[in-house]
Every structure is written in structure tokens, then in C-alpha cells.
Amino acid sequence: MNKVIITCAITGSIHTPSMSPYLPVTPEEIAASAIGAAEAGAAIVHLHARDPADGRPSQDPALFRQFVPRIKAASDVVINITTGGAPTMSVEERLQPALQLQPEVASLNMGSMNFGLYEMLGRFKEFKHDWERPYLAGSDDRVFKNTFKDIAYILQSCSENQTRFEIECYDIGHLYTAAHFLDRALLTPPLLIQSVFGLRGGIGGHVEDLMHMRRTADRLFGKDYVWSVLGAGRNQIPLATVSASIGGHVRVGLEDSLWDGPGQFATTNAAQVQRMRTIIEALSLQVATSAEARQMLGLKGRDAVAF
């Protein structure tokens, strides 16, 4: 029977604390939410940090050190640390948590891109913190920068740590960039290709977009990759369901969508994981354990990290 890896993205940098009262912000909240997601069936948790004072995205390794050991102590879940951070950060700043903590998995965007969050201002009117409205509004003139040089820098910096990468591909060209770094031997198989749909600036959220990504990845990587789908916002559950039904894996979580149905907030990350687990099992599939995910992805193991 096919096993489906569920990755849960716990808090991210796209949404602000004013958008949902359930978004984890403090180290205690992030740790508890990640542990809950793992208990619900997530094999991997994808982690960002936030300043606990105002919820601002942060790549301060000291903040990550306040929650990743707690998660590791309480769960066997695979810990995946972002190198994406936020579009307002330098590549050196974004790299530090993964470089210093040496997790089993780190995320890595495969290119520079427009990253438009400004449309959220039409849905959310009240903000708690001074930084939130300008952060969203300014995204119409903001580029997330990840050049070929930046990507190589991250890969080379982490090479001795044996950290593998959640390779985030927001468009077709990002798959070709991943193939380029595979050719340069800076990436090694099996690749974890996280295909991202429905964010302004990347590929759309139609099922035809998903299939185009899948066909292209099959042609470029053959059997040397593991394919997963991240649908942003309302695309989350529908596209994840398509992915699972055609042999792929899935990512859910409050980083990618605040919702657990039309007009209904997800109260926890675990709620989204459980919803996805119900669908996977209804498809006569099984949810992969963390141990099975480690085997599928060729990970170094939980004892080889620096936390």
C-alpha cells in the first residue's frame, strides 16, 4: 500500500498574527503546535520563527533553539528548518538557523520571484502591530531574491552537515534550476520536490498546473525524486488530495493556509493534518511515519543534528 508523507508547515512568514488568533507566534506555541501536528500524523514539520513580542518573522537562531529541542524531545518527527525566512531578509541571515542547527531537512527556494501578499489587505482590515500592514502592502514592489549564486552558497554551506533539502518550486523554471544543481552535484538524489501552487508570482492553482509540474518533474528527475504538493490558501486541500491520489505526498499547515473550510479558521495545525489524514485514508492509502519518511528521503537521522 502506498505511504503518503504529510509535511506540516507550522507558522511561516506569509501570514501575520492579526490574520488569525490561532497562528503560533511564541516559541512555546510553535513547539506545542508542531508536537500536535506530529501526533496527528505529520511525518515532517517545517519551521519558521517569529519575534514573540510582535510576531514579526525572524531568522534569529536563538529563537529556533527555544523550540526545536522541545519538539525533538517530545516527538520522532523530522524537523525541517527554513532557509526562506522572509523576502525582506538577506541570504546570509536566512541561512543561519539551518547552518548552525544542522537539521535533517531545510527548505530551499529554487529562484528569485515576485512574492505578492498585498491582496490579503482586501480581506483583513484590522492589524495589531505596526509592521503588518506595510509588510503586506509593500509586497507589490518586493522580490524574493534567490539567485543561482545564493542557491549555490546555501547548498555549499550546508554540504558538510548532510542536511537534505525540501526543494521549493514555485514555477516550472524552478524545476529546471533544481536539475541544474543536480547536474553540478550540489544536490544529490533522492530530491524532495515541494511543488508550490497558488501564490501570486508563481504558478497557478489549477489541476492542469499541478499536472504540468508533475510531468516536467518526471521527465527531469525520473525515479530520483519524491514529489509533494503545497497548495496555498483555498488550494491546500484540493491539490493535496490530487497529489495523494496520483502517488504524491502533501504539505498542509497554517503557513500555507489559515483555513479549515470556507470561512472557518483552522484552530490548530493538527486540525489540518487530521483533515488531510482522513482524506488519505479514504483513498485507501496510509500516512507515512517519520521513520518511513526518513527512509524514503535518505535522511541522516535525528541523532545527527546540532540540537
pLDDT tens across 70-119, in order?
999 999 999 999 999 999 999 999 999 999 999 999 999 999 999 999 99
- Assign domain 3-304 one CATH number from 3.40.50.360, 3.20.20.70, 3.40.50.300, 3.40.50.2000: 3.20.20.70
pLDDT for the residue numbered 125: 83
- Contact by Cβ (8 Å): 105, 192: yes
Three cell numbers, residue 48: 519558521
Per-residue pLDDT tens digits for 267-303 = 999 999 999 999 999 999 999 999 999 999 999 999 9
The whole-angstrom separation of Cα 286 and Cα 290 is 13
- Residue 17 has which C-alpha cell? 498574527
Q: Give the residue from 47, 41, 1 showing the smallest Cα distance to 24.
A: 47
pLDDT of residue 1: 64
Longest alpha-carbon distance in the chain: 50
For residue 221, give every residue at least 6 positions away whose Cβ sits within 8 Å of its Cβ, in sequence order, or none: 178, 179, 182, 189, 191, 193
Ranges of the chain with pLDDT below 50: none
User: Which helix (H) or strand (E) element contains residue 287?
Assistant: strand 286-287
Radius of gyration of the chain (CA): 17
Q: Report yes or no: 266 and 257 within 8 Å, Cβ to Cβ.
A: yes
pTM metric for this prediction: 0.97
- 103 three-class SS: coil
| DSSP label of 160 | G
